């Protein structure tokens, strides 16, 4: 056999065996989790002798079953209702299966060829969906955290170009905004108190009058306002057009963190909820949330392609200044970079934008149904009407009962839900991203939560 024939045969065998194991596991999984504890898994994994390799694919897969597949948290299960992780679209998985073996790297043309053009087409497609205009550009990133960092990096350097001192810059974000904004401010060398938190209205949207007041009163340089289109806990969308107007007046860069709400870009029923997004200077989109893509897949899109120059640095060995090739590294914080765009490409080509949007619409509809169910249930109270596909609520009992219910449910493995805090109190949260989750699943999970919480309360009473 020729060398390449042998490699192809080995590859085919290993990957087919792996796919068969995963498929068998998917058929078998009847709960999102087994409830395995950190101690149990640590002990199993510590018991593996890394100095003694296994022989053969079957032995390796048997071991991976033991240490990973058996006790993984399965996002495709309809009772996984915790975080912004999605069950993944099959065309995207096909993309993942193709891009890993070819292993293109998107930093330079001479490591990617067509992959660079595919990524560029998708950036252009995304910018067009946002309606940012012909001068827009952007790049795929590892996630919303990196997209936010890059956007704020550009905003900082734009402010520097106008003579501002980073130590004197301020970023405005709502109290429901994502914590990665604070992280970015730190990484960008801004002052410790650089992030100014703006309170929200009862629907958890940034309050424009308060933002206006803070911008007017600001004795520093308003470097950027980060509006959130789809807050992580509430799905709320800040009033984008009003914020854009305030940014224009104050000279602040307008970044929109649409890591979650970007799914509305392909919604046939709800695209209008993103009105004003087209006024942004930069936008974060996370395809690995509302576009049903496997991790990682995200992008940062900017209105003015020229502003990407702030992350352009040249290396003689890679992308010399004289290079005439389309080198995506010139636009990215990363160097070696995955061809994540292929997953979205295949999803668009096989399901179509409407197909993705319909799935997102389905989970938003389900959240509205879940809201009605919880509202009508005297055991629970709801924090706010869902704007997208999350629902924040609490068991009518003390905070400890809510915390206990959540962790007891995780330990049982029967369902997984999230938790958050609001006004200092402990809440529970559903993040609905599985189009196959039903109203019945929601009702069942509520019953389980109520049972655990009631059990906790009665135990407390017995002890009192």
- Decide if residue 178 touches ligand PLP (CB under 6 A): yes
Applying CB under 6 A, the span of 52-60, 129-137, 256-264, 400-408 interacting with ligand PLP comes to 256-264
The residue (of 148 and 426) whose beta carbon lies closer to ligand PLP is 148
Task: State in angstroms the smallest separation of the CB of 221 from ligand PLP.
Answer: 24
Task: State in angstroms the smallest separation of the CB of 66 from ligand PLP.
Answer: 29
Applying CB under 6 A, the span of 69-77, 139-147, 191-199, 377-385 interacting with ligand PLP comes to 139-147
Q: 223 and 156 in contact (C-beta within 8 Å)?
A: yes
- Decide if residue 228 touches ligand PLP (CB under 6 A): yes
Q: 169 and 159 in contact (C-beta within 8 Å)?
A: yes
Question: Which bin fits 424, alpha (ψ -120 to 50), beta or left (φ > 0)?
Answer: left
Task: State in angstroms the smallest separation of the CB of 169 from ligand PLP.
Answer: 20
- Decide if residue 144 touches ligand PLP (CB under 6 A): yes
Applying CB under 6 A, the span of 144-152, 234-242, 357-365, 368-376 interacting with ligand PLP comes to 144-152
- Decide if residue 260 touches ligand PLP (CB under 6 A): yes
Task: State in angstroms the smallest separation of the CB of 232 from ligand PLP.
Answer: 4
Q: In this structure, what token pair is assigned to residue 174?
A: 């709502």
Among 78, 143, 239, 294, binds ligand PLP (CB under 6 A): 143
90/85 Cα distance (integer angstroms): 15
Which residues between 55 and 94 bind ligand PLP (CB under 6 A)? Answer: 84
Among 137, 214, 238, 257, binds ligand PLP (CB under 6 A): 257
Binding mask 276-295 toward ligand PLP (x if CB under 6 A, else -) reads ----------x---------
Applying CB under 6 A, the span of 96-104, 137-145, 208-216, 394-402 interacting with ligand PLP comes to 137-145
The residue (of 169 and 184) whose beta carbon lies closer to ligand PLP is 184
Task: State in angstroms the smallest separation of the CB of 412 from ligand PLP.
Answer: 26
Among 104, 116, 145, 332, binds ligand PLP (CB under 6 A): 145
The residue (of 151 and 342) whose beta carbon lies closer to ligand PLP is 151
Applying CB under 6 A, the span of 165-173, 183-191, 257-265, 340-348 interacting with ligand PLP comes to 257-265
394/450 Cα distance (integer angstroms): 10
Which residues between 30 and 49 bind ligand PLP (CB under 6 A)? Answer: none
What is the contact surface with ligand PLP in residues (CB under 6 A)? 84, 143-145, 148, 178, 180, 228, 232, 257, 259-260, 286, 298
């Amino acid at each position: 056999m020729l060398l390449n024939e042998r490699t192809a045969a080995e590859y085919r065998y290993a990957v087919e065996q792996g796919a068969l194991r995963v498929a068998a596991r998917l058929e078998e999984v009847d709960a999102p989790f087994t409830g395995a504890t950190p101690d149990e898994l640590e002990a199993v994994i510590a018991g593996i002798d890394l100095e003694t390799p296994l022989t053969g694919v079957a032995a390796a897969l048997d071991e991976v079953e033991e240490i990973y597949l058996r006790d993984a948290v399965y996002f495709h299960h309809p009772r996984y209702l915790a975080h912004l992780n999605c069950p993944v679209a099959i065309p995207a998985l096909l993309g993942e299966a193709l891009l890993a073996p070819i292993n293109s790297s998107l930093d330079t043309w001479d490591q990617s060829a067509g992959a660079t053009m595919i990524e560029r087409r998708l950036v252009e497609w995304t910018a067009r969906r946002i309606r940012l205009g012909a001068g827009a550009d952007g790049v795929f990133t590892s996630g919303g955290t990196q997209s936010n960092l890059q956007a704020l990096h550009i905003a900082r350097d734009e402010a520097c170009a106008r003579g501002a001192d980073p130590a004197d810059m301020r970023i405005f974000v709502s109290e429901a905004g994502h914590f990665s904004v604070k992280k970015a401010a730190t990484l960008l060398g801004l002052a410790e108190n650089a992030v100014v938190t703006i309170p929200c209205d009862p629907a958890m949207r940034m309050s424009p009058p308060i933002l206006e007041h803070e911008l007017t009163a600001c004795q520093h340089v308003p470097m950027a306002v980060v509006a959130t289109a789809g807050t992580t806990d509430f799905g709320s969308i800040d009033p984008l057009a009003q914020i854009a107007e305030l940014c224009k007046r104050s000279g602040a860069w307008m970044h929109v963190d649409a890591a979650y709400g970007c799914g509305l870009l392909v919604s046939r029923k709800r695209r209008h909820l993103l009105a004003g997004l087209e006024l942004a200077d930069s936008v974060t989109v996370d395809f690995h949330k509302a576009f049903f893509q496997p991790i990682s897949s995200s992008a940062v899109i900017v209105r003015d392609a020229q502003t990407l120059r702030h992350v352009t640095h040249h290396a003689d060995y890679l992308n010399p200044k004289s290079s005439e090739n389309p080198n995506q590294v010139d636009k990215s914080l990363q160097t070696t970079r995955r061809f994540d765009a292929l997953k979205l490409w295949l999803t668009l080509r096989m399901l179509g934008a409407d197909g993705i949007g319909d799935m997102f619409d389905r989970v938003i509809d389900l959240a509205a149904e879940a809201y009605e169910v919880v509202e009508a249930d005297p055991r629970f109270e709801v924090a706010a009407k869902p704007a997208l596909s999350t629902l924040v609520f609490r068991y009518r009992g003390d905070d400890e009962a809510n915390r206990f219910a959540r962790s007891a449910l995780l330990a049982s493995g029967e369902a997984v839900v999230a938790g958050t805090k609001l006004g200092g109190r402990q809440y529970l949260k559903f993040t609905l991203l599985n189009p196959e989750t039903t109203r019945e699943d929601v009702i069942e999970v509520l019953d389980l939560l109520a049972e655990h919480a009631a059990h906790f309360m009665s135990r407390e009473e017995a002890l009192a």
